[in-house]
Chains A and B, each alone.
Chain A
């Protein structure tokens, strides 16, 4: 979230699209009802199903799953056409006036530089035009034909209300009503927020759907203000924290990134990341990349990382391509991956195309499980009849399963969707011999290090040199690790700036740092995750703070826990004030210029003493200082979002570019050969499937929880009345739902909540598939929903397309 849960109460208009907060985030959704009750807010829900969020909405519009870019692109067109944009905001805080290179082009659904063979773009033309001074050329009048404004306008010309209705199945009048409601927030005194979740993420064009939403918010001037923002409602309690700390194929802590093969020297790695300003007097905060990186390397390798060896740059693995989950399963399936460790993660249930996963896991030499609960993954080799029909004796994988503590039995911090780091305490002993994941990882590491020390082996250096200063090496405390992430001074830090007077010691050796501004790139500081610097200072554990006072009344509670970065609660909050530093909306100011400093209800997301007249932009992480409509080379599919059909499309062509076969599905999405062959077609699988959560269950965990297993004991699917009538299925009868990759059987809930849509003149039936059942647990055994789902991911993140695929619903004989 750019903002946070309580801030939703400040909104005037709330759009829930690609999510269902009332059921998936019930206690956060309370702030939507708060906004409705006390701020006269209007709630809009756009969803394939009439969800419980929709049931309390002021306005609901149906949509075909996977067509959100058409809908939102239509909103962009509407806003531009009807001049419903926040002029001062877009002129000064976005790139609309920037000029794009002459060789940039978009033709019939594809951008310039496409290579059909590799399914990749040469992205060199996707950039701004630079002047002789090295800065981007601009045209403040926005009239230049290659200004981002003109290109944007042209790009979305095609996304007419008629097109929206034709592709999304949303009736034109309903679409226009949504546009009108959103457009009401283009004035500086009205705020609109967007709440989304995996209903946007889990598509082969998921990242671009989210970008389109962000573009709508920028046009309306809704980013950086109270009651605004782009708010990803994250699905798990610490999925934000694990991402912050970089537990992903390509990341390092604090959104630093791993080097690629070509970056053979530290300098070449750094040059690419420490971006220089693209406009005069911009902060371009990533210029400080080296300070964050060197401090991380000191936290990981201590004295073994020094200037003489480029801070142990060669200890970091180099990437030749992404090694995300889908790539890992492909390697496993080819017999090229031998070991797999699953810590609190159940991929047999959580990843697509179960049949392939079973084959892949069966080829492993070993699998290690760390979990508080029994998971399907840990027992993938067990025959459970139709639910998991395998031959145990033919599976040669060795499986070691280690019991872990759960939340109640450990302490530490979880990061909420609003980026709050909240400390929690241990209240019970774990069952049996279960141990914390910290102790398991530490013991495992100690054992591996001992083996390397005793017997040698391949490149033992980064293992034996790992910085391990913990009091009990086999079981570091959460406090020790949290303090290491925050960072400390390794030597006395001396003031650098003023040579005329005696140097002042700013921070003594060994002291905790209070902010990432103190980090240095000369090896004198250590910090395991720079964006968390400030979370555990000399004043103690800031994440454990419990003062819930809210002096400004806009819900900021700055002394409750701690938010990254720098305890900022609303990102880009400089944009809540006009060019001169006065709040756009005096009723709910976030930060403002008081004549000498930026002050207000939040930590300014800006240089605190920067005079507004200097023209520094509010988007300080971007080298241009402003927000981007034109993504430059940042997205695999191109600088402006384009609609592409799901890989399993009920239409069969792209209605926006019907003649271009290359533009049917995401042209830049990676897909493996065997996976492509697993895709079904609409003639065999005529219905559109989409998966989701229920309010009574959490993923695959709560089927082990008695109360929840009682509330929702048995697997079901939801089908609309029209489809039920067509197939002769009565409410409560059993059905079989198949895709080209397998089938599930479940009870049919025949409902008015899913209506048939008319798309390109044809009727499309959508089928709702809740995902919570499996072959272990206290609930009735069921089929893993991901038996059905397609193994293709988003073009940028490789998040699987769980939300749009083709199925066939059949009635099961009595």
Chain B
């Protein structure tokens, strides 16, 4: 039987037997350990994103299961550097290389939770209950402590008894709406990670 490695097979078919098929030759090449692997990501959905860690802002390509259909649950199974990106040119550091494990970390939060005063555990609650409770706590505190005027009569319209810290990896659009809402309440004790 004709024994031919994959490389010889291509050489033969390319140079002398152009147009022939494997079956016509009557022999399949033996599996080669060094063969070029099939590109497994070809059938996945590719989405462009930016690494959320440091501010080099490396471009990343995320590969997900699911084709965007309504009943398909999109899930990221692989991330690599974007070779078109002018800064990272396809590279990622040890942090960026682990991004898939961030998305799929067992320590991702999944449900709104509540810790009652004095308790040592979380209880799962609904979104409606969570938002209602936070809105109520904020309004009560604001109504009771909002300062409209100083003792000497200056108009200051500030709320100092509730503070807020904003994220450092959330997009601009989150930042903007967060700022718009918190300032409309009169909040001053407001910072982001840039402070530290």
Contacts and interface: CB of A to CB of B under 8 A. Distances in A.
B77 to A, nearest CB: 10
B171 A413 contact: yes
B165 A341 contact: yes
Interface residues of B, number: 117
B57 interface: yes
A323 B189 contact: yes
A546 B125 CA distance: 43
Nearest to A544: B48
Nearest to A253: B179
A253 B53 contact: no
Given A248-B191, A400-B112, A707-B97, A444 B134 contact: yes
| Majority DSSP secondary structure for residues of B touching A | mixed
Given A318-B156, A323-B163, A406-B103, A247 B175 contact: yes
B37 interface: no
A424 B48 contact: yes
Interface string A353-372: 00000000000011010111
Contact of B192 (A6, A247, A411, A698): A247
Interface in B113-161: 113-120, 122, 125, 127, 130-139, 141-143, 145-146, 148, 150, 154-161
A485 B176 contact: yes
A373 B108 CA distance: 5
A337 B179 contact: no
Given A381-B115, A403-B108, A247 B150 contact: no
Contacts of B172: 238, 241, 244-245, 412-415, 421, 481-482, 485, 532
Given A241-B172, A420-B57, A444-B181, A342 B111 contact: no
A125 B170 CA distance: 43
Contact of A27 (B56, B76, B102): B56
B3 interface: no
A799 interface: yes
A237 B169 contact: yes
B104 to A, nearest CB: 8
Contacts of B177: 438, 441-442, 476, 481
Which 10 pairs from chain A and chain B are nearest by CB? A344-B167, A412-B171, A432-B110, A427-B47, A416-B57, A403-B109, A339-B162, A707-B98, A236-B168, A26-B93
Interface stretch (B11-19, B25-33, B82-90): B82-90
B180 A447 contact: no
Interface of B: 45, 47-59, 62, 64, 73-76, 81, 84-89, 91-99, 101-103, 105-120, 122, 125, 127, 130-139, 141-143, 145-146, 148, 150, 154-181, 183-196
Given A338-B161, A429-B74, A695-B94, A397 B117 contact: yes
Nearest to A403: B109
A293 B160 CA distance: 24
Given A236-B53, A422-B59, 16 more contacts: A27-B56, A235-B55, A236-B193, A240-B55, A247-B166, A248-B195, A249-B191, A317-B156, A338-B161, A339-B163, A345-B168, A381-B120, A425-B47, A429-B74, A437-B170, A443-B127
Given A331-B160, A420-B57, A705-B98, A444 B131 contact: yes
Interface stretch (A457-465, A511-519, A729-737): A457-465
Contacts of B131: 440, 443-444, 447
A247 B178 contact: yes
B82 to A, nearest CB: 9
